[in-house]
């Protein structure tokens, strides 16, 4: 896996808004190159896509927590959430042909289903992007 992508994975898992924003901006640029997409899962254990999606899951869950528990959401968080959801959908569409391992698809589908609801209701901030991502899978 590219060192840059590993760094971005670490930044996506961060609790700091600035680090996640930087990762979101850089990740889309990095993964827009076909060579990076093709090589991402060529590690010996073939865990590149799983590691990347798990980092995105963490970032999305951090955003969901802020949106559902925070009484006052900062303006940077409001800008980050839509960018993160669009990145998630874009990445799913971009790499679905590369996702040949059941563990990655299963983790992705589980995340889409579990995160799409909150307190027994549809979680509207992610509903549209996640429905489109689910349709691609």
pLDDT of residue 122: 87
User: Which is more confidently placed, 1 or 10?
Assistant: 10
pLDDT of residue 58: 92
d(CA 61, CA 58) in angstroms, rounded, equals 5
pLDDT bracket for residue 56 (50, 70, 90): very high
The answer to whether 129 and 83 are in contact (CB under 8 A) is no
Residue with tokens 């963490």: 58
Q: Taken in order 24, 132, 116, 77, is the CA torsion positive or negative?
A: positive
SS3 at position 128: helix
For residues 101, 54, 47 and 131, what is the CA-based torsion angle, rounded to 10 degrees?
30
| Best CA proximity match to 36, nearest among 24, 21, 26 | 26
Beta strand 121-122 with 117-118 is antiparallel
pTM over 0.85: no
pLDDT of residue 49: 87
Average pLDDT over residues 55-74: 76
pLDDT of residue 18: 84
Residues in contact with 119: Cβ distance below 8 Å, sequence separation at least 6, in sequence order: none
pLDDT bracket for residue 57 (50, 70, 90): very high
- Residues recorded for the chain: 137
User: Which is more confidently placed, 43 or 47?
Assistant: 47
| Best CA proximity match to 126, nearest among 112, 110, 137 | 112
| Best CA proximity match to 52, nearest among 100, 110, 95, 114 | 95
Average pLDDT, the chain: 81
């Amino acid at each position: 896996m590219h060192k840059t992508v590993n760094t971005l994975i670490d930044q996506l898992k961060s609790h700091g808004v600035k680090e996640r924003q930087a990762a979101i901006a850089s990740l889309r640029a990095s993964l827009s190159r076909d060579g990076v997409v093709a090589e991402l899962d060529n590690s010996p254990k073939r865990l590149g896509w799983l590691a990347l999606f798990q980092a995105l899951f963490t970032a999305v869950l951090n955003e969901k927590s802020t949106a559902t528990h925070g009484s006052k959401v900062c303006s940077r968080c409001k800008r980050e959430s839509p960018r993160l959801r669009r990145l998630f959908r874009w990445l799913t569409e971009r790499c679905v042909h590369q996702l040949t391992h059941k563990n990655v698809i299963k983790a992705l589908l589980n995340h889409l289903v579990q995160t799409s609801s909150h307190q027994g209701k549809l979680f509207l901030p992610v509903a549209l992007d996640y429905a489109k991502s689910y349709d691609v899978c």
